[in-house]
Amino acid sequence: MTWQKKWIEVRGHRIYLERCDRENSPLVVLLHHGLGSVQAWQSQMDVIARSGISVLAYDRWGYGRSDDRSRLDPPFFWEDVRDLEEILGSESKPLIIIGHSDGGNIALTFASNHSENLLGVIVIAAHIYFEPKMAQGIQELLRAFQENKSFRSGLQSIHGGKPVFERWFHAWSQSGMDWDLRPAFSSISCPVLVLQGSEDEHASVKHAVDLAAALPKGRVRILEGITHMLPQKFCDIFNQILFEALLDFQRVDQYVQ
């Protein structure tokens, strides 16, 4: 099992990625959350590869070891989607896209424009419309950033001193309240599993239920007692759900060893 760890040029900036290819398998693409990086998937990457499925994770533009950027563009994150389109431009393997939080929005935006070769999507705590709990969660993270030195230093270490929090906070604070992504995502033709913890700090349970209802092949699973950081803080629970979902997606079961 060999991992590629490298930088690639994407639309004029460098993206750092890690990839492990397994023979005759689909490719699972992992899209990290709004303050994350490749490191956010450390509890999943080797597990997926050891199961016989190819996996790709990368530091999104402006994060981790990738080049810096000036701004984000939520809620659709079109700049990140264009990066993903180029990264996967010549990909021949069937695809499964998994996105957490902001990464979930990117996964859904990508899927709404690229149904070809896409076996399925898994999103964890994606954001599809404004609700007051989202604003409360943003303010709570601002307080943590201002008051928690270890939180700030952790972000500095992961992202090499890039102003990741400040950029993220400004982007979402300026996104306004009058947006709803459900009409745009109603064209997604592949199966989508929507995951969310009942104790998510940034969205209500209804948020996830509404997202799944808006998708032609959407299915929702609410996890009792689980918070926003499901793949990281509850990785055993998430990994079990992940492999159940991979087996459910069309044609994937023939690849899992």
Segments of the chain assigned E as strands: 3-10, 13-20, 27-31, 54-59, 95-100, 118-124, 192-197, 218-223
d(CA 54, CA 153): 33
- Listing DSSP states for 223-254 in one string gives ETT--S-HHHHTHHHHHHHHHHHHHHSTTGGG
Number of domains in the chain: 1
In the three-class reduction of DSSP (H, G, I as helix; E, B as strand; rest coil), residue 143 is classed as helix
Q: Supply the range of the domain harboring residue 184.
A: 3-254
Cβ pair 231, 124 in contact under 8 A = yes
Q: What share of the chain is helix, strand, coil (3-state, %, to 5)?
A: 40, 20, 40
CA-nearest of 212, 230, 215, 206 to 132 is: 206
Q: How many CB atoms lie within 10 A of CB 199?
A: 12
Predicted TM-score of the model (pTM): 0.95
- Both tokens of 223, joined, read 């996890």
d(CA 7, CA 58): 9
What pLDDT was estimated at residue 116? 80
**Torsion angles phi and psi, residue 94, rounded to 5:** -60, 145
Q: CATH no. for residue 172? A: 3.40.50.1820
d(CA 121, CA 103): 11
| Per-residue pLDDT tens listing for the chain (257 residues) | 799 999 999 999 999 999 999 988 999 999 999 999 999 999 999 999 999 999 999 999 999 999 999 999 999 999 999 999 999 998 989 999 999 999 999 999 999 999 888 999 999 999 999 999 999 999 999 999 999 999 999 999 999 999 999 999 999 999 988 999 999 999 999 999 999 999 999 999 999 999 999 999 999 999 999 999 999 999 999 999 999 999 888 554 444 44
Angle at Cα 145 formed by Cα 143 and Cα 149, nearest 5°? 120
Q: DSSP class of residue 195?
A: E
95-100 and 54-59 strand pairing? unpaired
What pLDDT was estimated at residue 117? 86
Q: How many CB atoms lie within 10 A of CB 77?
A: 26
